[in-house]
Amino acid sequence: MPNAASQDPTQSSPGLSGELPGGLPGRHDGTSPPDRASSGSPRRIIAPHATLDYDLLVIGGGINGAGIARDAAGRGAKVLLVEKDDLASHTSSASTKLIHGGLRYLEYYEFRLVREALNERERLLRIAPHIIWPMRFILPHSSMLRPAWLLRAGLFLYDNLCRHMTLPKTRNIALQNEKAGQVLKPDYVRGFEYSDGWVQDSRLVALNVMDAARLGADIRTRTRFVAATRHENSWHAIIEDETSGACTSVTAKAIVNAAGPWVAELLHDRLDIRSRNAVRLIKGSHIVVPRLFDTPQAYILQNPDKRIVFAIPYEGRFTLIGTTDIPFDRDPDHVAITTEEIDYLCTSVNRYFRKAITADDVVWSYSGVRPLYDDHSGSASAVTRDYVLDLDHAAAPVLSVFGGKITTYRKLAEHALEKLAPHLGVLRKPSWTADAPLPGGDFHRSAFGSLVADLIRILPTLDRSTATRLVRNYGTLAFSIIGSDREAPGLGALIGADLHEREVDYLMDREWARTPEDILWRRSKLGLFLTPDDVTRLQDYMSRRERTNETATSAVA
Ligand SMILES: Cc1cc2nc3c(=O)[nH]c(=O)nc-3n(C[C@H](O)[C@H](O)[C@H](O)COP(=O)(O)OP(=O)(O)OC[C@H]3O[C@@H](n4cnc5c(N)ncnc54)[C@H](O)[C@@H]3O)c2cc1C
């Protein structure tokens, strides 16, 4: 089983010459980007004197890059994080959103991963109580599938692998006696109820990046890492602003390659480093349908192919159903659900629930590509979900992240910095993220209701559901959206559903939101509720605001 702590594949790199990777000619001042990465748009090259020096260049604004950038910035490193699209545009917004040990990984004997993930579950529930919360899961027993004794043994292990479990433990249930059992077909009479956690995955990324920025990290979204040349003690890299086409050259003492599905391509093609590690790209898709049940629990459904599918209460009015496991060999920038996947997910649900669903019920779907560490397993479901950190320190170091889970991102970041520390003095400082709340998460989860009440007290016109949504998304930072006591509290003009201008301002100013999609599908899931007219209004408001800011900036200049 791969293990972050046990693997240290170090290969030397030929990329020490004055050529950019891939044999493309380049100068060390980085002013001549290689054509192979050209997006076709004209480039404005920033002069060599504009070179910026960093300790660490983190490539990738998914959860792993975000977690590493935050941890490193908190240890005093000068960090630059570049993300070619929006934060969490790819795998880190396409997950099932579970903060979990991974019950099914026990079947593959992944005890290290499950133990680490269960311990992380407890920590993450503490440091981000607004965007991560406990959830109970109903596991119906089917006489045709895994025997009840095996499920009971697995769940016993699951509860006990966690060092200090604060969540309620597993219990056996007679489904006909439970409200949660009433929605299931009468064939299912017994089952189990166990605990795990739920996360707003893309918000977890945004909060880590916000904290990294608070600690001094330079965050550049819509900025692509183009290529780098390697020297004994530093990397000379070129990054490109995807909006303007402007290229900037930067130096960094070390690089973290957290490019998710692009990790191997980036290592080979853009850094010119050979590694014996590889990724297996496995697509997973989800569908969202109108609410199938009104109980708070989620369901974990076993399929005859031994896979499992979750049905989870989602955004109040919906049920989230997923996922699939499909080998993927195309461009990870373009990934979408197929009709076969929709049918598979509907069939899984229809096997268990009284109320049947069809493709016509699907109101939204999303797909992502898991960048799994390739352990040469036969089936997609069997490929390890553990991670491997590949450190090459033949000259200036580069650390690449293969695999991983949202749940283990914080621990992965600690392991990554432990590996880099001997090569980057500033990282030798102790780890600090285990108990440090993420932005807005500085409260105990039992205080959630009183935060909602306080928000309504300050702004009595706020309805309870909007106040709850604001605390769910922003925690204690919700107060800065509605305004402090000195300003007139308020949310500004309504844009659509319960989205108002002040929240948009906050997301643009504090969370790098640039387009309606950033706000509607990543910083929130309000896309499920806005009409096309609302989206146009949002686009107009954002463009107007962007223009006002540009005018203000040029007036100052
Ligand atoms: C269907 C599915 C379900 C899942 N469910 C769960 C779950 O329930 N719980 C859980 O814990 N985990 C889950 N996972 C796993 C988890 O989502 C991933 O492990 C995690 O999101 C990977 O994060 P990452 O940062 O490595 O990759 P990504 O989120 O893909 O981030 C990599 C980023 O690098 C950027 N990038 C690439 N190349 C460049 C470049 N040249 N310059 C600049 N930026 C670049 C990309 O744009 C991208 O945003 C699931 C995954 C999938 C696909």
Which pLDDT score, from 0 to 100, does residue 484 have?
65
276 DSSP assignment:
S
Q: Is residue 113 part of a domain?
A: no
Residues 294 and 270 in one domain: no
d(CA 251, CA 314): 44
- 404 CA: nearest ligand 1 atom: 19
CA of 541 to the centre of ligand 1 (A): 30
CA nearest 258: which of 145, 419, 74, 404? 404
In this predicted structure, what is the pLDDT of residue 104?
A: 86
Ligand 1 pocket member 64 (CB < 6 A): yes
> How many separate domains does the chain show?
3
Examine the domain organization and report whether 496 and 547 are in the same domain.
yes
Q: Is 58 touching ligand 1 by the criterion CB < 6 Å?
A: no
The whole-angstrom separation of Cα 466 and Cα 496 is 12
Of ligand 1's listed atoms, the one at least distance from the Cα of 368 is 53
Distance in Å, CA 177 to ligand 1 centroid: 40
Q: Which helix (H) or strand (E) holds 33?
A: none
Does some domain include residue 9?
no
In whole angstroms, how large is the CA radius of gyration of the chain?
A: 24
**Model confidence pLDDT, tens digit, residues 12-37:** 232 222 334 333 323 222 222 233 23
Residue of 39, 87, 92 to mutate, ligand 1, most atoms within 8 A of C-beta? 92
Tell me how far the alpha carbon of residue 93 lies from the centroid of ligand 1, in angstroms. 7
Consecutive H or E run containing 234: none
Q: CB-based contacts of 99: which residues, under 8 Å, 6+ apart?
A: 120, 121, 124, 125, 132, 196, 197, 198, 199, 406, 407
Our answer on whether the CB atom of 257 is closer than 6 Å to any ligand 1 atom is: no
- Strands of 315-359, DSSP E: 318-322, 326-327
Using DSSP, how many helices (H) and how many strands (E) does the chain show?
14, 23
Neighbours of 109 (CB within 10 A): 10
Comparing CA positions, the residue from 260, 311, 300 lying closest to residue 91 is: 260
Q: How far is the CA of 92 from the centre of ligand 1 (A)?
A: 4
Average pLDDT over residues 437-466: 97
Of 21 and 529, the structure prediction assigns the larger pLDDT to: 529
Distance CA 370, CA 142 (A): 29
Ligand 1 site, residue 380, Cβ cutoff 6 A: no
Within a domain: 324 = yes
Query: Is 241 contained in some domain?
Result: yes
Using the atom order of ligand 1, give the atom closest to the CA of residue 225. Answer: 42
Find the length of the chain.
Answer: 557
* Distance between CA atoms of residues 280 and 300, nearest Å: 25
pLDDT tens, position by position, 493-515: 999 999 999 999 999 999 999 99
Q: Are residues 303 and 451 located together in one domain of the fold?
A: no
CATH code for position 238: 3.50.50.60
Q: Report whether 513 contacts 193 (CB < 8 A).
A: no
Q: Nearest C-alpha to atom 27 of ligand 1 is from which residue?
A: 260
Asked if 195 and 314 sit in the same domain, the reply is yes
Q: Which of 205-209, 347-351, 377-381, 422-426 has the lowest mean pLDDT?
A: 377-381
**Ligand 1 mean position, distance from CA 94 (Å):** 8
Whether residues 288 and 401 share a domain: the answer is: no
219 torsion bin: left (phi>0), alpha (psi -120 to 50), beta (else)? beta
Rounded to the nearest integer, the mean pLDDT of the chain is 89
In a domain, 506, yes or no: yes
Taking a C-beta distance cutoff of 8 angstroms, is the pair 30, 233 a contact? no
Residue 276 has pLDDT above 90, yes or no: no
Q: What is d(CA 557, CA 548) in angstroms, rounded to the nearest whole number? A: 14
For ligand 1, the distance from its centroid to the CA atom of residue 231, given in whole angstroms, is 29
423 with 343, same domain? Answer: no
Counting residues of the chain whose pLDDT is more than 70, the rounded percentage is 89
β-strands 79-82, 132-140 pairing: unpaired
Q: Is the pLDDT of residue 181 over 90?
A: yes
Answer yes or no: is 98 within a domain. no
**CA–CA distance, 266 with 279 (Å, rounded to integer):** 12
**For residue 331, what are the domain limits?**
120-200+280-373
Tell me: do 208 and 274 sit in the same domain.
Answer: yes
**Is any ligand 1 atom within 6 A of the Cβ of residue 61?**
yes
pLDDT of residue 38 exceeding 70, the answer is: no
- Kindly state whether residues 359 and 415 are assigned to the same domain: no
Nearest CA to 470 out of 484, 485, 459, 455 is that of 455
pLDDT tens track for 40-95: 333 444 444 446 999 999 999 999 999 999 999 999 999 999 999 999 999 999 99
**What pLDDT score does 487 carry?**
66
Using CA atoms, how far residue 262 sits from 18, 92, 266, 309, 328, in Å, is 24, 13, 6, 27, 13
Are residues 525 and 416 located together in one domain of the fold?
A: no
Instruction: Kindly state whether residues 294 and 254 are assigned to the same domain.
Output: no
Same domain? For 462 and 478 the reply is: yes
For ligand 1, what atom is nearest to the CA of residue 324?
A: 1
List the structure tokens of 310: 């979750």
Asked if residue 254 and residue 207 are part of one domain, the reply reads yes
The model's pLDDT over 284-312, given as tens digits with 9 standing for 90+, comes to 999 999 999 999 999 999 999 999 999 99
pLDDT bin (cut points 50, 70, 90) of residue 556 is: low
Let me know if residue 110 belongs to a domain: no
The atom number, within ligand 1, closest to the CA of 226 reads: 41
pLDDT band at 486 (very low <50, low <70, confident <90, very high): low
**Which pLDDT band holds residue 384 (cuts at 50, 70, 90)?**
confident
115: which 2 tokens?
A: 């133990």
Which of 71, 95, 517 to mutate to test ligand 1, by most ligand atoms within 8 A of the CB atom? 95
Interatomic CA distance for residues 281 and 300, integer angstroms = 24
Q: CATH no. for residue 189?
A: 3.30.9.10
Whether residue 200 has its Cβ less than 6 Å from ligand 1: no
Residue that is last in its domain, among 394, 410, 435: 435
| 2 or 164: which leads in pLDDT | 164
Instruction: Sort strands 398-403 and 246-257 into parallel, antiparallel or unpaired.
Output: parallel
**Is 467:452 a contact under the CB 8 Å cutoff?**
yes
Is residue 106 included in any domain, yes or no? no
Q: Given a cut of 50, is residue 346 above it in pLDDT?
A: yes
Atom of ligand 1 nearest to the CA of 283: 53
